[in-house]
Structure 1
């Protein structure tokens, strides 16, 4: 990208899965990304130093309201959850009007994703799992080593691939989830999400933590794609009710809340979003 191609573009930074600013998962959104190359998008996403940066574009599919491209600091994702909700929130805030009242259709690398209003929040329809099967013995051993847990504490472990290649691990309790002190070297290149139930009567139903490999393994504050896969897994197996709330980010001092609801043949994954920074960017 040469200096002659630079121009001022609208830019938002949004906190997703939290109604409290700075307690969820931040997302950078370039509102008008027309004319940017993939290389320029990747370079800017690396520069923001956030887990994801998105770029809003006109749709190429006539059924869609807008198109989004989703980048981490090192690669492009076909789909991700908190970027979907944060991008939809930003598109609406920037004056976007959906073709169908009350429902947005987002075009992304994984196809078309529906987003709707639900109890004052936005929620996306969980995309289908493209790989859904129990992990093999070698991966299970790697998980127990990486999570520093005895083998019999893993109630279940399955591939939950819906873009990102998640491995889901179910533990007996939220306390076990929060007590994990992972061995990041032993975790290797696995993207691991761990979930366990809270005691009945708690403010939330499940506790979630996710660990993502990269230059250094990091714990993600709140992860929509993993929660979408976990909801399909747990509701489908009868381990979770058709409507529940999960907490994530507790171990990092965040207050992420993921609202899950099954209905009409879909599982909807929702959360609040709040714009924390709004302005322009030279790009």
Structure 2
């Protein structure tokens, strides 16, 4: 039976991040079986480790939500890297892993116990049209003056992101899950006052899953940073909080270095064993 791990991501304490389920040695498992298992775990993502097929990759990864397969996702990237290392994986290059996934090769940097991935290119950016923006304002129940800007920020999952006036506005949102329509991956971000422990509060609304909100989201934080840092809204290095309204303490560490955006966080292995797949 394949090895199985469950890793809490973007936290240094188990139960306060975003868990990902990881199935090791998954090359004998069909795509249909992978999808069925991801529905069964009912986590935001479940991943499957496979031998790489591209030169330079340490391993290949397939990423499933309970409803579809994703080309890339952030917290599964970090959580799976931690599970792979904990199971004895040894990267070809000291201090750096290379993950192969449907979005291409993703570099993952090791700095002590913390891992960080290099943000992949955004697949869709630019302004949000008036009709979609009206849907989002209604679904998020925003008031006049709450919204500062909105952009497409899709690096695989389909994110559209809204910059709100402050973190308190982000935290008070009570969305109407039935009003999002086809816009089912919606991120919101708002700044904290200068001198706060963290720079931004982030929330990720996914109305078609059970919680309706992802606890801590690496892919969204990556594409938001690719928007806010070049625009001068965020500094080249900052920490974002996410999961506050869900009782989590997610901390996402963002840094621009040598032209790349690196998105990192702590990871905790919470479950290990085998799975009957």
TM-score class, shorter = over 0.9
1:36 is matched with: 29
Answering whether residue 125 of structure 2 is matched by residue 132 of structure 1, we say yes
The 8 Å contact of residues 210 and 219 in structure 1, kept in 2 or not, is answered as yes
2:142 alignment partner, SS class = coil
Partner of 1:186: 179
What TM-score do the two structures reach when normalised by structure 1? Answer: 0.95
Distance 1:33 1:216 in 2: 26
8 Å CA contact 2:141–2:174 kept in 1: the answer is yes
Alignment map for 1:1-283 (pairs within 5 Å): 8-118=1-111, 120-190=113-183, 191-214=185-208, 218-283=212-277
The 8 Å contact of residues 196 and 208 in structure 1, kept in 2 or not, is answered as yes
Q: Out of 78-87 and 91-100, give the one that drifted further.
A: 91-100
In 1, are the aligned partners of 2:95 and 2:111 still within 8 Å (CA)?
no
Shift of 1:142: 0.7
Q: Distance in 2 between matches of 1:52 and 1:31?
A: 15
Instruction: State the secondary structure of the residue aligned to 1:131.
Output: coil
- Secondary structure of 2:125's match? strand
Aligned CA-pair RMSD? 1.1
Secondary structure of 1:134's counterpart equals coil
Measure the CA separation in 2 of the matches of 1:157 and 1:230: 11
In 2, Cα distance between the equivalents of 1:239 and 1:228? 15
**The residue matched to 1:213 in structure 2 has which SS?**
coil
Give the Cα–Cα distance (whole angstroms) in 2 for the partners of residues 152 and 119 of structure 1.
43
Distance 2:117 2:137 in 1: 32
- CA separation of 1:67/1:9 partners in 2, compared to 1, >3 Å: closer, same or farther? same
Deviation at 1:119, TM superposition (A): 5.5
Give 1:23 shift.
Answer: 0.4
C-alpha separation between the residues in 1 aligned to 2:269 and 2:214? Answer: 19
How many pairs align? 276
SS of the equivalent of 2:219 reads helix
Provide the rounded CA distance (Å) in 2 between the counterparts of 1:214 and 1:222: 17
**CA shift at 1:44, angstroms?**
0.8
Q: Which runs of 4+ in 1 moved over 6 A?
A: none
Which string of whole-angstrom CA distances, capped at 9 and with x for unpartnered residues, describes residues 212-239 of structure 1?
Answer: 1326571110011100000000001000
Please tell me whether the aligned partners of residues 228 and 269 of structure 1 are also in contact (alpha carbons under 8 angstroms): yes
TM-superposed CA distance for 1:184, in Å, is: 1.3
